[in-house]
Chain A
């Protein structure tokens, strides 16, 4: 109910602002809706959204897997941490644009280059989060697992992973928002399709309804994935925690 109210408030603000600014700069909701319907009718909207989502999924999965493994390693092994730390700092502070441009120069304007560039942008934050998580692992529980001779993989699954779950969730959360942002830049610069590419076209043609049509549907998809996928998983992982008042 509150969410609906919040949505209505958003629409009202938009409409009001459109009236004040004039339809040229900020088209009112019905105009944008018409653009969305037109794009959906031609199938372009779904195609471009699908392509972008596929890139997000691939880059996200790649960065999370690699980042979690590296972060765990750096949290557990001091030598790995000392070796990897300078790389990590470099990657953390490298602007996304530099990574994307270099990836396109070195690997060509290809799908591999785009996905790798997006993944590399997300990778260091995942590593940092998981490294911190690994450092907070409870030694007392490790000792318990050792005394009872619980096999390594079983201990990892039942003792280690649940402790890392909040950090994995945090890395996924922040990583997903990062990937959403960067994927559009990567598409704008070097892909012939996807939401980012369409927004680039709309920008060049100054087609503001089209620009908003893609931006808003993209935002809606992000919102749906957040509420339908990310939040329920988080809730399930933390169900053993006593409820906060």
Chain B
């Protein structure tokens, strides 16, 4: 499904009554099945943008064009699982229509087989993230929204989870928005990269990668990163 976003302005008023503009002239478009990755400095307003696209925040100026009734699967920065429900119940609650075979395949793909009946409190952050990911995929979303799904995981774990995300995204072409401040993750996962300014955030550069995700070798990734170097991404 296609997505067109044009947020003219989004501002917060803090407790002292001062207005802070978080997003200004934030525009982008994503085609059917594309993975858009947003790279920007911490605290620039990436999560705010995701919340607006997810329909959680209606207090902004601008417009968002997406097909009506689009199903959204989201992985928040924190896993946001229900601590009083088991892993499987958490997933089923969000995706009541998912059949057993598909859920089993999903749990197997994410290495969650052994944890189906565990409570979230018994899981490590990495596992909880994977459960959140399983939940987002189980609803068979039209849009997938991932808010820093690899943050605060060690490198090996992050790399594994990144490969799993790539595999799941490719297994059924789903329009995806992913936020990160890691250029490496962005180059490995994205079809279209959007580089953001600091606050108030807007898109300052766009880069399309045409090589399919699975076909990107280390050399290719290095080359793309070198191409992006002039954008001063080191500052991000």
Of residues 9 through 64 on chain B, the ones whose CB sits less than 8 Å from some CB of chain A are 51, 54-56
Tell me the complex Cα distance, A50–B15, Å: 57
Does B160 have its Cβ within 8 Å of any Cβ on chain A? no
How distant is A153 from chain B, measured CB to nearest CB, in Å?
Answer: 12
- Contact yes or no, A143 B82, CB < 8 A: no
Does A240 have its Cβ within 8 Å of any Cβ on chain B? yes
Does A158 have its Cβ within 8 Å of any Cβ on chain B? yes
- Contact yes or no, B54 A159, CB < 8 A: no
- From A140, A147, A154, B72 is in contact (CB under 8 Å) with A147
* Given A144-B80, A158-B82, residue A149 in contact with residue B71 (CB < 8 A): yes
5 smallest A-B Cβ distances: which pairs? Answer: A148-B94, A162-B84, A240-B84, A144-B80, A147-B74
Secondary structure call for the B interface: loop
- Contact yes or no, B56 A143, CB < 8 A: yes
19 intermolecular pairs with C-beta atoms under 8 Å apart:
A140-B76, A141-B80, A141-B82, A143-B56, A144-B80, A144-B94, A147-B54, A147-B55, A147-B56, A147-B72, A147-B74, A148-B94, A148-B135, A148-B139, A150-B93, A150-B94, A162-B84, A162-B85, A242-B121
How distant is B123 from chain A, measured CB to nearest CB, in Å?
Answer: 12
Q: Please name all residues of chain B whose beta carbon is closer than 8 Å to the beta carbon of A150 when the two chains form the complex.
A: 93-94
Count residues of A near B (Cβ-Cβ below 8 Å): 16
Interface string of A159-187 (1 = CB under 8 A from B): 10010000000000000000000000000
Tell me the complex Cα distance, A143–B89, Å: 18
How distant is A91 from chain B, measured CB to nearest CB, in Å?
Answer: 32
- Contact yes or no, B80 A140, CB < 8 A: yes
Does B184 have its Cβ within 8 Å of any Cβ on chain A? no
Interface string of A81-96 (1 = CB under 8 A from B): 0000000000000000
Of residues 51 through 98 on chain A, the ones whose CB sits less than 8 Å from some CB of chain B are none
Does A146 have its Cβ within 8 Å of any Cβ on chain B? yes
Residue of B whose beta carbon sits closest to that of A139: B56
Given A143-B76, A147-B56, A154-B93, 14 new contacts (CB under 8 A) = A141-B82, A144-B74, A144-B80, A146-B55, A146-B56, A148-B73, A148-B74, A148-B94, A148-B139, A149-B71, A150-B93, A162-B82, A240-B121, A242-B121
Tell me the complex Cα distance, A199–B56, Å: 60
Interface string of A120-144 (1 = CB under 8 A from B): 0000000000000000000011011
* Given A149-B71, A150-B93, residue A159 in contact with residue B82 (CB < 8 A): yes
* Given A143-B56, A154-B93, A158-B93, residue A148 in contact with residue B78 (CB < 8 A): no
- From B72, B89, B121, A148 is in contact (CB under 8 Å) with B72
